[in-house]
């Protein structure tokens, strides 16, 4: 069976081999205060720079998930709270978690077929902006102009972006943001159980100045440990190792993004006026590169998912308000292009 679920998702076919090699090399029981772990950490940093274009002065931390990053960002990077800008379920969840820690957090929902406008909040001076780069629930992504617009209107605010389902797939404007994070079970094609947090020097300075220390995962301790290429607690060492192996394996991000773009264009040929399903997001410019939700009547959506599964294609369910009337297809790099084409062929025959 091939999974097109947008998380947890199809992992790289090489994962079993990497696990075996990690086991043989003694990685699974590796001490996280050892020199070997420090070298492993260091090589992930180097590979993130090489393959994913992480700027040289940005720092990298391992967390357990994107959800953990939501809390770390609220607790360690804000005093009063940030401004949360979102159009879907994940952005809304982030805001909900942040509100519990920082009740004065602000929220700015925007419509599915629109772009948020920084100008509308020009009167505010938020300390932190929270944007979802790739909204996995509805398959929208923020264009670079939107990110630049927020940067421009709020020069003093830190800019945090959730790239959980785009890091590793899309070419991200990392320099434009201060805090980026993702978990590994989406676009990075690895088993769930780890997240990565990437910070600009400005973000680091701000958090060290706030010096919040109430939690095991307070940024000050993450940073102190990172400087020694260590972690606050015993981390998912296998996850770190698999991240290293997958980063060695993948091409530079510009190539990956190009390939994913070609694959998305192939899908567009499916949506003729007669096709009973269509992309949830009508404006192509607002669509995500990595997650494609398709909309149709609820019965048809259920039947497509069911039939596809019998052919060995697991399609993703809709999410939140779009649960019944959409299905989601992940366009993640760990899914091979030939599998993608096979699904495309199958659906175009079924739906024509």
Ligand X SMILES: *Cc1c(COP(=O)(O)O)cnc(C)c1O
Q: Which residues bind ligand X (CB under 6 A)?
A: 7, 65-67, 90, 132, 136, 162, 164-165, 183, 186, 195
* Least distance to ligand X, CB of residue 91, Å: 8
* Least distance to ligand X, CB of residue 138, Å: 10
Q: Which is nearer to ligand X, 67 or 176 (CB)?
A: 67
Q: Which is nearer to ligand X, 83 or 291 (CB)?
A: 291
Residue 170: phi and psi, rounded to 5, are -95, 155
* Least distance to ligand X, CB of residue 62, Å: 13
* Least distance to ligand X, CB of residue 182, Å: 8
* Least distance to ligand X, CB of residue 186, Å: 6
* Least distance to ligand X, CB of residue 215, Å: 17
Q: Which is nearer to ligand X, 67 or 266 (CB)?
A: 67
Which among 146, 148, 151, 190 has a CA at the least distance from the CA of 168?
A: 190
How many residues are present in the chain?
352
How far apart are the C-alpha atoms of 278 and 326, rounded to whole Å? 9
Helix, coil or strand: residue 319: coil
CB 92: neighbour CB atoms within 10 A? 18
Q: Which is nearer to ligand X, 136 or 295 (CB)?
A: 136
Yes or no: say if 95 and 135 are a contact pair by the CB < 8 Å rule: no
* Least distance to ligand X, CB of residue 166, Å: 8
Q: Which is nearer to ligand X, 14 or 67 (CB)?
A: 67
Q: Which is nearer to ligand X, 292 or 347 (CB)?
A: 292
Distance from the Cα of residue 175 to its chain's centroid: 17
Which among 226, 260, 269, 225 has a CA at the least distance from the CA of 336?
A: 260
Residue 50: phi and psi, rounded to 5, are -65, -50
How far apart are the C-alpha atoms of 248 and 341, rounded to whole Å? 26
Q: Which is nearer to ligand X, 322 or 347 (CB)?
A: 322
DSSP strand E in the chain: where? Answer: 2-3, 59-63, 83-86, 106-109, 128-132, 134-135, 140-141, 158-162, 179-183, 195-199, 278-279, 291-295, 313-314, 316-317, 326-330
Residue with tokens 């190539």: 255
């Amino acid at each position: 069976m091939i999974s097109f679920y947008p998380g947890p998702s199809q992992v790289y076919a090489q994962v079993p081999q990497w696990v075996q090699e990690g086991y043989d090399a003694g990685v699974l029981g590796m001490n996280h205060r050892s020199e070997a772990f420090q070298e492993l950490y260091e090589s992930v940093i180097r590979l993130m720079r090489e393959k994913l274009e992480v700027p040289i002065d940005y720092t990298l931390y391992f967390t357990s998930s994107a959800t953990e990053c939501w809390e770390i960002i609220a607790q360690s990077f804000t005093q009063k709270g940030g401004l949360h800008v979102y159009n879907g379920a994940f952005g809304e969840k982030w805001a909900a978690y942040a509100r519990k820690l920082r009740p004065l957090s602000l929220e700015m929902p925007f419509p599915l077929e629109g772009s948020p406008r920084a100008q509308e909040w020009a009167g505010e001076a938020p300390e932190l902006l929270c944007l979802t780069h790739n909204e996995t629930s509805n398959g929208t992504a923020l264009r670079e102009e939107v990110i630049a617009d927020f940067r421009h209107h709020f020069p003093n605010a830190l800019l945090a972006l959730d790239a959980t389902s785009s890091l590793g797939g899309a070419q991200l404007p990392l320099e434009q943001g201060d805090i980026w994070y993702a978990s590994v079970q989406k676009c990075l094609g690895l088993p769930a159980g780890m997240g990565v947090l990437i910070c600009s020097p400005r973000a680091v300075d701000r958090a060290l100045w706030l010096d919040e220390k109430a939690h095991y995962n307070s940024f000050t301790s993450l940073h102190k440990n990172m400087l020694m290429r260590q972690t606050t607690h015993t981390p998912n060492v296998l996850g770190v190792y698999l991240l290293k192996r997958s980063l060695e394996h993948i091409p530079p991000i510009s190539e990956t993004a190009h390939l994913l773009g070609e694959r998305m264009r192939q899908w567009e040929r499916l949506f003729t006026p007669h096709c009973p399903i269509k992309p949830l997001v009508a404006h192509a410019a607002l669509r995500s590169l990595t997650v494609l939700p398709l909309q149709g009547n609820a019965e048809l959506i259920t039947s497509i998912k069911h039939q596809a599964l019998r052919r060995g294609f697991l399609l993703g369910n809709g999410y939140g308000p779009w649960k019944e009337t959409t299905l989601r297809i992940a366009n993640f790099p760990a899914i091979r292009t030939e599998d993608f084409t096979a699904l495309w062929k199958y659906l175009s025959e079924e739906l024509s």
